[in-house]
Amino acid sequence: MSHSSAPGAVAAAPPGARASGRPVRHRPLSRAAKPLLFCAPFLVLFAGMYLAPIIYAAVSSLSTIRRSGLGLTAPTKVFDPLGNYTRALHDDAFIGSLGRVALFGVVQVPVMLGLALGLALLLDAKSARGKGFFRLAGFLPYAVPGVSAALIWSFMYSPLSSPVNRLLAHAGVTMPFFGSDVVLWSVANIVTWSWAGYNTIIIYAALQSIPAEVLEAARVDGAGAFRTAWSIKVPAVRGALVLTTVFSVIGSAQLFNEPAVLQPVSAGSISSAFTPIMSAQSAVAAGNYPYAAAQSVILALLVGVVSITFFKITGRRESA
Amino acid sequence: MKSTVARVASAVGALALTLTAAGCGGSDDGSSSADGKSSVTFWGWAPGYAQAVKAFNASHPDIKVTYQAVQPGAKGGYQKMLNAVKAGNAPCLAQLGYETLPSFAAQGALQDVSAEVSADDQADFQEAAWKSVSLGEQVFGAPVDTGPMALFYNKKVFDKLGLKPPATWAEYRTAAEKIHAADPKHYVSSPYLNYDYAGLAWQADAGWFATKGDAWQVTMDSPGNKKIADYWQGLADDHLISNAPMYDQGWYTGLGNGDIATVVGAVWQAGVIKGGTKAGAGQWAVAPMPQWDANAPKAGNAGGSATAVLKGCDDTKAAWEFAHWLSTDPTTYGTLIEKAALYPAAKKLLDLPQLNKADPYFGGQNIYPVFAEAAAQVGTDWTWGPLMTKTAADLDDGLGKAWAGKSSIADALSDAQKKTLAEMGKQGLKTTP
């Protein structure tokens, strides 16, 4: 891409001569090469740590593994570009896991962001007290590592120890947190608990950028707190909402920690292919890396399509 | 400026080199250094292995073993080993559970060391354990420990109801009914999953896999397995089994307060129960496993591991020498019993003093003779499958539902068999009905 300067193309000025106070280079780098040079450390790391694994996964997903007999020798790979993909699209467990996280995303993301938006508006309200405390309190669950959070919640949900159910027992009801139809929403609750505060902070930060005179003008025009929130504040944080939505959608697609931790205590409600990542993991457990790679590629493509579509739909230029 | 370019370039180069080096955590695959000393690297996680390696190096000047602790197998250790084999920089030796060994073999990750093994070496080990490390004529490592099973029971609960430890599974069922009738919060036991459940099938010789010529047989839905499945299903259907998941906090609590009255488990469960349930001290005791046929007593096995030789090992002679020593040296093994509650696979170690003493936790009972008796009764025909990690996960999906009353144990077994056969077929492994 960059054409390095040809050997003959040395600067005309003799060595050491000064032109407009700048030292003249012996061999000027071409204009394109210089930024590349500064970016080199990044580019090397980016290529090695980021691109290489992605390319490796994509390439390996194009082969299927072949063993023979008892299979006591290393498996061979056969180039079969569609083999793993065809299998994945006919794999009920994998397709089911995609449907599950899709349902999860459609419900959990709006609920969580609605909650986050509401909390941010409350924090931003003129009459709010103890803003610092609530900002921190809302943010704290995000600081708890996902696996630890899932462990805490597994204790809250477990039929053996659930303090929630112990309280409800007085009223003669129990909440089947691990019921087949309930368990997805038990997981959604953990994710919401972990991330609502984080999203609140992002939206709250966007609210801070609304010029005071705009809010002042609204007040002079007789808009109440609700009207101001709806007509001025919400449109102003549109960008932040789009961003948090896309992040949350990606998060839903990558759901793994919470269901994986709850699995052993879920009485079979969480299967080993509950989410797409778990499904890919179970292909790894079968020693079938290319098939796991194919599932990951399909998941990445779907998330990409959903994100781009969402950006397209919401992508009208934000008017200030 | 030229020098700057050179500096940046060399910095980038150095960085890339560092990354590459970091990516391939240096491990040698068994080589002889200049002074003619063999060197072997060993990956494992059992407490006490590091000390054992030190002792070996002190007493064997011609071999240097380097021990590197890794995560326990199921928690990432096995993945790391398989990745290292793929990358061509695996250690010579690795700790490997018997149930996972065939999966490693089926990925071409193990090395046959039968050339180094003498008939005497083989005779050192119990037959079932030896079968676990060999396939046909090939030998992939040395057995370290085994998991003969017995019945751990809460003596306090049993005594209160005037019950004796059940000698047969029929008596076990009667005890289950009495225990639950006396206190609706009390259950005879909790759900068994994956390899713990396998031990129950093992006792009845209800195998899951077999090899026939160059083909695998999957027999998880055999009549023998159906019998075991239906027995436990009967207990579950009548609500005689607790819903506390094994090894969960609720399970430990139940072991301490009498809610869970028995655990059918391997010898290492003694350590699990002691470590997790302080409240149970003095209440628990050990009896032989209940029998299907009292006249022909048999025991199951759960767990146990080998020191396996990984593909790419150059110095198999030194590797085998260390692996054999680790499994048979009395002093070292005594320490391993104390530190890791291992139970020897080597016959001559069964009378170590560490395996012959009263344990206050078990009410002053010397529990080891029960396991020594069981070890001799473990069937030798059990074979693990080539995709065991996946098979176990598929089985647990079904078993979890079955114990919760949403499905049946028999269905869990036949589903796991279907999925295993499908995956074997996809990978081209040969199967035969």
Tell me: do B190 and B254 sit in the same domain.
yes
Q: Report the DSSP beta bridge partners of residue B260.
A: B187
- Whether the pLDDT of residue B1 is over 80: the answer is no
Answer yes or no: do B10 and B111 share one domain. Answer: yes
Please choose, from the candidates B61, B51, B99, the residue with its C-alpha nearest in 3D space to the C-alpha of residue B78: B99
What is the model's pLDDT at position A7? 41
**If you average pLDDT over residues A227-232, what whole number do you get?**
90
CB–CB contact B248 A160 (8 Å): yes
DSSP code for B310: B
Lowest pLDDT segment from B29-33, B142-146, B195-199:
B29-33
Q: How confident is the model at residue A14 (pLDDT cuts 50, 70, 90)?
A: very low
Closest chain A residue to B403 measured between Cα atoms? A267
Minimal-distance CA residue of chain B relative to A178: B404
Query: Which chain A residues touch B390 with a CB distance below 8 Å?
Result: 282, 285-287
Asked if B108 reaches chain A (Cβ–Cβ under 8 Å), the answer is: yes
* Residue B217 near chain A (CB below 8 Å): no
CATH number at residue B317: 3.40.190.10
Distance CA B77, CA B94 (A): 10
The radius of gyration computed from the CA coordinates of chain A, to the nearest angstrom, equals: 27
The tens digit of pLDDT for each residue in B62-119 reads 999 999 999 988 888 998 999 899 889 999 999 999 999 999 988 889 999 999 999 9
Distance CA B384, CA B251 (A): 28
Same domain, B379 and B408: yes
Residue at B356 is within a domain: no
Hey, which residues does B135 pair with through a beta bridge?
B138
Given a contact cutoff of 8 angstroms between Cβ atoms, the answer to whether B409 and B420 are in contact is: no
Residue B143 has pLDDT above 80, yes or no: yes
Distance CA B415, CA B428 (A): 20
Is A65 near chain B, with CB under 8 Å? yes
Using the 8-state DSSP alphabet, how is residue A265 labeled? G
pLDDT in tens, B222-253: 999 999 999 999 999 999 999 999 998 889 99
B150 versus B351: the higher-pLDDT residue is B150
In a domain? residue B431: no
pLDDT, tens digit, for every residue of A117-164? 999 999 988 788 888 888 888 889 999 888 899 989 988 998 877 888
Return d(Cα A140, Cα A158) in angstroms, integer.
24
Of the residues B351, B383, B412, the one at which a domain ends? B351
Q: What is the tens place of the pLDDT at every residue in A44-71? A: 999 999 999 999 999 999 999 998 888 8
Confidence band of A24 (pLDDT split at 50, 70, 90): low
B12–A40: do the CB atoms touch at under 8 Å? Answer: yes
Q: Would you say residue A9 has pLDDT above 60?
A: no
B433, part of any domain: no
What is the chain A residue with the closest CA to B4? A37
The answer to whether position B162 is within a domain reads yes
**B70 lies in some domain:** yes
Query: Dihedral of the CA atoms A82, A88, A91, A93 (nearest 10)?
Result: 170
Give the pLDDT score at B153.
97
Q: Which residue has the tokens 């488990």?
A: B265
Residues 6+ apart with CB under 8 A from B191: B236, B241, B242, B243, B245, B246, B399, B400, B403
CB-based contact B106 A264, cutoff 8 Å: no
Contacts A–B by Cβ distance under 8 A: 139
Query: Which residues are CB-neighbours of A91 under 8 A, at least 6 positions away?
Result: A279
Contacts of A271 in chain B (CB under 8 A): 397
Q: Is B250 contained in some domain?
A: yes
User: Minimal CA–CA distance to A262: which of A274, A254, A251?
Assistant: A274
Distance between B352 CA and the closest CA of chain A, angstroms? 37
Name chain A contacts of B211, Cβ cutoff 8 Å. Answer: 70
B423: phi then psi, degrees, rounded to nearest 5? -65, -40
What is the amino acid identity at position B412?
A
Of B79, B216, B401, the CB nearest to A70: B216
Per-residue pLDDT at B123 exceeds 50: yes
Name the token pair of B48.
Answer: 């006490």
Could you give the percent of chain A with pLDDT greater than 70? 89
Instruction: Answer whether residue B35 is part of any domain.
Output: yes
Q: How far is B351 from chain A (nearest CA, A)?
A: 36
**Closest-CA distance of chain A to residue B124, Å:** 26
Residue B432 resides in a domain: no
Structure tokens at B209: 């896999």
- DSSP-derived letter for residue A263 is G
Q: Say which of A41, A48, A158 has its CB closest to residue B250.
A: A158
Q: What is the pLDDT of residue B309?
A: 97
Looking at chain A from residue 108 to 147, which residues have their Cβ under 8 Å from any Cβ of chain B? none
Q: How confident is the model at residue A104 (pLDDT cuts 50, 70, 90)?
A: very high
What rounded mean pLDDT belongs to chain A? Answer: 86
- What is chain B's mean pLDDT, rounded? 90
Closest-CA residue to B239 (of B412, B405, B408):
B405
* Confidence category of residue B171, pLDDT binned at 50, 70, 90: very high
What residues pair up with B94 in beta bridges, in sequence order?
A: B43, B308
Residues of chain B found within 8 Å of residue A288, distances taken between Cβ atoms: 423, 426-427
Planar angle of CA B175, B179, B180, nearest 5 degrees:
120
Domain shared by B113 and B31, yes or no: yes
Nearest-CA residue of chain A relative to B385? A70
Q: Which residues pair with B346 in a beta bridge?
A: B125
Same domain, B232 and B251: yes
Q: Does residue B221 share a domain with residue B172? A: yes
Q: CB–CB of B387 and A72 under 8 A?
A: no
B247 vs A contacts (CB less than 8 Å): 264
- The two tokens of residue B300 are 């199951």
From chain A, pick out residues whose CB is under 8 angstroms from the CB of B215. 69-70
pLDDT digits (tens, 9 = 90+) for B15-64: 444 444 443 434 445 555 556 688 999 999 998 999 999 999 999 999 99
Q: Taking CB atoms and an 8 Å limit, are B400 and A71 in contact across chains? A: no
Residues B216 and B344 grouped into a single domain: no
Q: Which of B264, B247, B225, B245 is CA-nearest to residue B415?
A: B225
Domain housing B171 = 147-301+361-426
Does one domain contain both B239 and B287?
Answer: yes
Quote the CA–CA distance of B292 and B225 in Å, as a whole number: 13
- Confidence class for position A173, pLDDT limits 50, 70, 90: confident
Distance (Å, whole) CA A317 – CA B18: 45
**Residues B75 and B91 grouped into a single domain:** yes
Please check whether residues B240 and B385 belong to one and the same domain: yes
pLDDT of residue B366 exceeding 90: yes
Question: Does residue B158 surpass a pLDDT of 80?
Answer: yes
Residue B3 has pLDDT above 60, yes or no: no
- What are the tokens at A172? 């003669």
The tally of domains found in chain B comes to 2
**Is the minimum CB–CB distance between A48 and chain B shorter than 8 Å?**
yes
- Chain A hits for B311, Cβ within 8 Å: 74
Smallest CA–CA separation between A218 and chain B, in Å? 56
**B236, B402 in Cβ contact below 8 A?**
yes
Domain match, B385 and B282 both: yes
Residue B325 and residue B290 share a domain? no
Interface subset of A 239-268, CB within 8 angstroms of B: 264-268
pLDDT tens, A273-296?
A: 999 999 999 999 898 999 999 999
State the pLDDT at residue A109.
Answer: 96
| pLDDT given at position A26 | 58
